Amino acid sequence: MAADGTHSTNAPDPLTAKATPAPPPHVVASLDQVSVRRYTTGQVILDDITWTVRAGEHWALLGANGAGKTTILRLIGALMHPTTGTVDVLGHRLGRVDMRELRARIGLVSSAQKVPLDATAHTVVLTGHTGTVQPLWRKYDADVRDRAHALLAELEIKELADRPYGVCSGGQRARILVARALMADPSLLLLDEPFNALDLPSREDLIDAMHRLAVTRTGLATITVTHHLEELSPAIDHVLLLKEGRVLASGTAVDVLIADRMTECFGRPIAVSRHEGRWLARSGRH
């Protein structure tokens, strides 16, 4: 209202005012011109990799054996340094941060993880709080123990709490390891071939679990290394395609997972299809 009692014409019209655009999701991991070489042989494992992962994105790393997928995961997981280039994870640059402290903030799931076979599922999840193989019982108060139970329930395996890890099925073990990785409440979850050796029902249970996590934990970023498109949940929205240590393609799944690019990546005709959000790759030969 103006001083003379009339309405001011300076106020913005709500019908024509433009909404302020939301800020882009923050970066959780980035590689800038990264290369990795073996010192003993000079072999190039990664060559000039530039890549960015943002909060809430779900990436698949695809490529033939030896393409460099696991090496990229080891870099982002703060398990190694690049030969050249820079790696930033959760706002910290490798080489300027305590790698052990950084690793404690990153969730990692791998079938190669060492887990005591006689420990119960609940105990295995508890060890995610301390980042140790064996439990450190004095570190687990009532709240931590309750959180471990809650994560087992979130992964729909609460009935396994008192079951020894060694007698659990492959699919059950995979979900226990996901729950363990979530104990640190990470904003970045790395999955290194989590479907390895799983039968069809176990694979589908894990895919469903990963899809639920993507829906309920909207800020969580995930990176999944796999060899098979059918192992990707509908939540996977981005793909990094690697060939011989270099980026062949990077972007949204619908732009990268096309026959021509998959054929170039794997060196044989590949046909790609999609049904209800799930991907399938097969030989394009007839």
Residue 216 has pLDDT above 90, yes or no: yes
Please state the pTM of the whole predicted model.
Answer: 0.87
Q: Residue 42: pLDDT band by 50, 70, 90 thresholds?
A: confident
Residue-wise pLDDT tens digits, 177-213: 999 999 989 999 999 998 888 889 999 999 999 999 9
Read off the pLDDT of each residue in 111-136 and give the average, rounded to a whole number: 92
Pairwise CA distance, residues 40 & 38, whole Å: 6
Candidate CATH numbers 3.50.50.100, 3.40.50.300, 3.40.50.150, 3.40.190.10; the one for domain 25-106+187-286:
3.40.50.300
* Portions of the chain given CATH number 3.40.50.300: 25-106+187-286
Other CB atoms within 10 A of residue 244 CB: 15
pLDDT exceeds 90 at position 24 = no
pLDDT at 4 over 60: no
What are the DSSP E strand ranges found in the chain?
27-37, 44-54, 58-62, 84-89, 92-93, 107-110, 188-192, 221-225, 238-243, 246-252, 270-275, 278-283
Confidence band of 5 (pLDDT split at 50, 70, 90): low
Tokens in use for 110?
Answer: 């791998």
- CA-based torsion, 93, 85, 99, 183: positive or negative: positive
Query: d(Cα 210, Cα 226) in Å, to the nearest integer?
Result: 14
Token pair 């076979």 is found at 117
- 258 pLDDT higher than 60: yes
